[in-house]
Chain A
Amino acid sequence: MSTPIATSVSGEKRYSVSVASRTNFYILAAGVIIFIILATLPLFGGTALTRRLVDFFTLLALAELWNLMVGYAGLLSAGQQGFIGIGSYTLWLFADKFGIHPFIAVIFAAIGGAIIALPAAALVFRLKGGYLAIGTWVIAETLRLIVANIKSTGGGSGITIQAASQLGTETRVPGAYWWALASALIAIVVTYLLLRSRTGLALKAMRDNDLAAESAGVNLWRSKMYTWVIAGAGCALVGAIVAIHLLRVQPAAAFHINWTAYLIFITVIGGMGTIEGPVIGTIIFYVLRETTSKYGTWYFIALGILAIVVTIWSPAGIYGYVIKKTNFMVFPLQRKLSVLDEGTAPAEIGTGAEKTAG
């Protein structure tokens, strides 16, 4: 369905600016069907498949959040593992210490992530670009060392989440699955809505040019803050789901830099600055890991090299390459300009693939 935002007449040509296209309507219909299948999957899919998909959706959610921060706000975080770890430990705190049901405690974990994100922002926003990335890494390391030095959390060797193991597989796995699916959907929907809003335009302007955006009256600091806190809460939410899923939380694993590596590689390879990119990236990552993990960490090395190659030679990623060739997006975020010649169907001249930052 073409949904014109505005039309105008200039000279002899009529223009129509629209966001979505008819094809997007069919995609939406297909999406609803896929969603129904995914939502009911634990009922018929079996435990093994459900477990794998928990992995898949948690990774997807993380990648979407990183994409939101970097692809749209230019916030280069290398410290998302800090929020994942905080989420895992907050879940343990609320579930085991305060006796809240683990599936509810997940929400508190997200709030915990947001609360940590606020003071962290005040610190790392003093840095820029690559130094901001290391700054976020320092925050994550600091959080890890604090947790590892607290005796009651089991210190460096970690702790088992009793409340989660008492749930039993038949409850725990589907519950974790639905939360994982929800977190991925939330990440996608939040990104979509945020980017369709005024703030979204501000974020894009900011990604393209800090100074220009600022002089156009965009409140950079607040926009960056929104994305940062949303991503922090989201990563903590995912950390909590991972903790329920694995039953055990350990500082070295929960705060591991590899988390950030996964989501950077996924986003970059799939296509930064689009919602679809991380979906494609997660599928590639997942398939590669499942098929080649018997060769040790080589798959990880290969992914790193692929991310480097993509960044240098095809910075819009795989999905960016696709839209460049076909001018089509599942989640239309760009305004397309159509020339409406009298009596003929709108010939899309589209804006094509947008430059991806970098």
Chain B
Amino acid sequence: MDWLNAAVQGILLGGLYALFAVGLSLVFGTMRLVNLAHGDLTIIPAYVALVIVGVAKFNAFYSIPIVMVIMFIVGYLLQRGVLNFVVVRGDIAGVIVTFGLSIVIANALQEGFTANSQGLDAGKIENLSITINERLAIGWLPLLIFVMALVVITLLQLFMNRTKMGRAFRAVSDDQEAARLMGINTRHIWAVAMGVALLIVSIGGVMMGIRTTFHPLLGADRLIFAFEAVIIGGMGSSWGTLLGGVILGMAQTLGARAFGSAWQILVGHVVFIIILALRPQGFLAKTVTA
């Protein structure tokens, strides 16, 4: 792969990481919960799509809106049924419960669908690409994922700044007890936040299932990449998260170009560690504390 090509692929990959990361930071922002099951929750949409496509026999692309709705409901119920009890109890409970959830989801998926890699069929688009010149070609699907990241972040910002519920999200984020005293049902808001987070990751989760294959144990990497994007970009900033995703994606693809594909993820981690050491607040942080 050419250097320029590697860089472009890295940018596009960054869009995918940003899609995953936005969900993680939305949940953290509204309820101060670091969801360690977030990575596994990005795998579930692909399996939901697999089941839908298996039953309905249509192009996997059409399953995306259905999966989004299902995952919103899953997120809402997960929050109201389990995580709302945890949010009010602080970091330790949050980490233990979401970590436990992560292990449960990964192992349950393995029991249900085996540990084998699976794929989703979306016809021709999987391999279509725009050829710029003989050294640079941009795949339609990665491009689409990147564009979706831009769309999602823009819509999320509009939702937060222009709607009544978005305002309530920000109020809850600032001071949850004061928000309750103003008549906001924080349990509902948190559940909606989790629903929206899973709705967003569904887009990336299913599209990744179409683009490559997936298996139940991918969750840890997805969680870590999302986390790295959030920290690199700076917490609390959506566009920062996109920037973080792009930096991480480029570190990975350029690392793979330089040292071979076995080094792809390691180089990403190393770049993350360097940035954490030199600029722990990230690049576009709204708040300084990490």
Q: Are A and B close enough to touch in the complex, i.e. CB under 8 Å?
A: yes
Residues of B near A122 (CB, < 8 A) are 277
Task: Report yes or no: A296 in contact with B280, Cβ–Cβ below 8 A.
Answer: no
Task: Report yes or no: A358 in contact with B266, Cβ–Cβ below 8 A.
Answer: no
Using an 8 Å CB-CB cutoff, how does the interface string of B89-132 with A read, 1 for contact, 0 for none?
11111111111110110011011000000000000000000000
B151 close to A (CB within 8 Å): no
Within the assembled complex, what's the spacing in Å between the Cα atoms of A325 and B227? 41
Question: Which residue on chain A has the smallest CB distance to residue B273?
Answer: A123
Task: Report yes or no: A76 in contact with B95, Cβ–Cβ below 8 A.
Answer: yes
Asked, given contacts A133-B36, A146-B266, whether A126 binds B290 with beta carbons under 8 Å apart, the answer is: yes
A196 close to B (CB within 8 Å): no
**CB proximity of A77 to chain B, nearest CB, Å:** 9
A97 close to B (CB within 8 Å): no
Task: Report yes or no: B86 in contact with A138, Cβ–Cβ below 8 A.
Answer: no
B184 close to A (CB within 8 Å): no
Question: Which residue on chain B has the smallest CB distance to residue A145?
Answer: B266
Asked, given contacts A129-B94, A130-B34, A358-B90, whether A141 binds B224 with beta carbons under 8 Å apart, the answer is: yes
Task: Report yes or no: A358 in contact with B111, Cβ–Cβ below 8 A.
Answer: no
Residues of A near B199 (CB, < 8 A) are none
Using an 8 Å CB-CB cutoff, how does the interface string of B259-286 with A read, 1 for contact, 0 for none?
0001101100110110011001000000
B223 close to A (CB within 8 Å): yes
Residues of B near A301 (CB, < 8 A) are 103-104, 107-108, 111
Within the assembled complex, what's the spacing in Å between the Cα atoms of A291 and B95? 28
Asked, given contacts A138-B228, A149-B262, whether A74 binds B103 with beta carbons under 8 Å apart, the answer is: no
Residues of B near A134 (CB, < 8 A) are 34, 36, 223-224, 227
A308 close to B (CB within 8 Å): yes
Task: Report yes or no: B94 in contact with A130, Cβ–Cβ below 8 A.
Answer: yes
Task: Report yes or no: B92 in contact with A358, Cβ–Cβ below 8 A.
Answer: yes
**CB proximity of B43 to chain A, nearest CB, Å:** 15
Asked, given contacts A123-B277, A297-B107, whether A74 binds B92 with beta carbons under 8 Å apart, the answer is: yes
Q: Which of A123, A131, A312 contacts B227 (CB 8 A)?
A: A131
Using an 8 Å CB-CB cutoff, how does the interface string of A117-156 with B read, 1 for contact, 0 for none?
0000011001111110111011101100110110000000
**CB proximity of A128 to chain B, nearest CB, Å:** 7
Residues of B near A268 (CB, < 8 A) are 96, 100
Task: Report yes or no: B82 in contact with A138, Cβ–Cβ below 8 A.
Answer: no
B33 close to A (CB within 8 Å): yes
Within the assembled complex, what's the spacing in Å between the Cα atoms of A70 and B276? 23
B3 close to A (CB within 8 Å): no
Asked, given contacts A128-B289, A145-B269, whether A358 binds B220 with beta carbons under 8 Å apart, the answer is: no
B231 close to A (CB within 8 Å): yes
A286 close to B (CB within 8 Å): no
**CB proximity of B80 to chain A, nearest CB, Å:** 13
Determine, out of A13-21, A29-37, A257-265, the stretch whose residues face the partner at the interface.
A257-265
A304 close to B (CB within 8 Å): yes
Within the assembled complex, what's the spacing in Å between the Cα atoms of A106 and B110? 35
Task: Report yes or no: A130 in contact with B276, Cβ–Cβ below 8 A.
Answer: no
Task: Report yes or no: A312 in contact with B36, Cβ–Cβ below 8 A.
Answer: no
Q: Which of B89, B90, B93, B266 contacts A142 (CB 8 A)?
A: B266
Task: Report yes or no: A307 in contact with B36, Cβ–Cβ below 8 A.
Answer: no
Asked, given contacts A123-B273, A149-B263, whether A297 binds B99 with beta carbons under 8 Å apart, the answer is: no
Q: Which of A137, A142, A145, A308 contacts B82 (CB 8 A)?
A: A308
A298 close to B (CB within 8 Å): yes
Residues of B near A129 (CB, < 8 A) are 34, 91, 94-95
Within the assembled complex, what's the spacing in Å between the Cα atoms of A357 and B96? 12
Task: Report yes or no: A126 in contact with B111, Cβ–Cβ below 8 A.
Answer: no
Task: Report yes or no: B265 in contact with A137, Cβ–Cβ below 8 A.
Answer: no
Task: Report yes or no: B220 in contact with A257, Cβ–Cβ below 8 A.
Answer: yes
Within the assembled complex, what's the spacing in Å between the Cα atoms of A141 and B86? 27
Within the assembled complex, what's the spacing in Å between the Cα atoms of A122 and B278? 11
Within the assembled complex, what's the spacing in Å between the Cα atoms of A135 and B101? 18
**CB proximity of B156 to chain A, nearest CB, Å:** 21
**CB proximity of A55 to chain B, nearest CB, Å:** 19
B58 close to A (CB within 8 Å): no
Residues of A near B159 (CB, < 8 A) are none
Task: Report yes or no: A311 in contact with B280, Cβ–Cβ below 8 A.
Answer: no
Question: Which residue on chain A has the smallest CB distance to residue B110?
Answer: A297
Q: Which of B28, B34, B91, B224 contacts A74 (CB 8 A)?
A: B91
**CB proximity of B28 to chain A, nearest CB, Å:** 8
Residues of A near B34 (CB, < 8 A) are 129-131, 133-134
Within the assembled complex, what's the spacing in Å between the Cα atoms of A264 and B220? 16
Residues of A near B96 (CB, < 8 A) are 264, 268, 307-308, 311, 358
Within the assembled complex, what's the spacing in Å between the Cα atoms of A134 and B92? 13
Residues of B near A298 (CB, < 8 A) are 111
Among A145, A260, A308, the most chain B Cβ lie within 10 Å of the Cβ of A308
Task: Report yes or no: A130 in contact with B91, Cβ–Cβ below 8 A.
Answer: yes
Residues of A near B100 (CB, < 8 A) are 264-265, 268, 304-305, 307-308, 311
**CB proximity of B274 to chain A, nearest CB, Å:** 10
Tell me the residues in window 76-132 of chain A with beta carbons closer than 8 Å to chain B beta carbons.
Answer: 76, 78, 122-123, 126-131
Residues of A near B85 (CB, < 8 A) are 312
Tell me the residues in window 289-306 of chain A with beta carbons closer than 8 Å to chain B beta carbons.
Answer: 296-298, 300-301, 304-305
Residues of B near A137 (CB, < 8 A) are 220, 223-224
Query: What are 19 contact pairs spanning A and B, CB under 8 A?
Result: A76-B91, A123-B276, A127-B231, A128-B91, A130-B35, A130-B36, A130-B91, A130-B98, A131-B231, A133-B36, A142-B270, A304-B103, A304-B104, A304-B107, A312-B93, A312-B97, A358-B92, A358-B93, A358-B96
Using A307-B97, A312-B85 as known contacts, list a sample of 14 further A-B pairs with CB atoms less than 8 Å apart, ordered by residue number in A.
A78-B95, A122-B277, A128-B290, A130-B33, A134-B34, A135-B276, A139-B273, A145-B266, A146-B266, A261-B103, A268-B96, A300-B103, A304-B104, A358-B93
The 7 closest A-B CB pairs, nearest first, are A130-B34, A129-B91, A358-B92, A358-B93, A145-B266, A304-B104, A126-B280
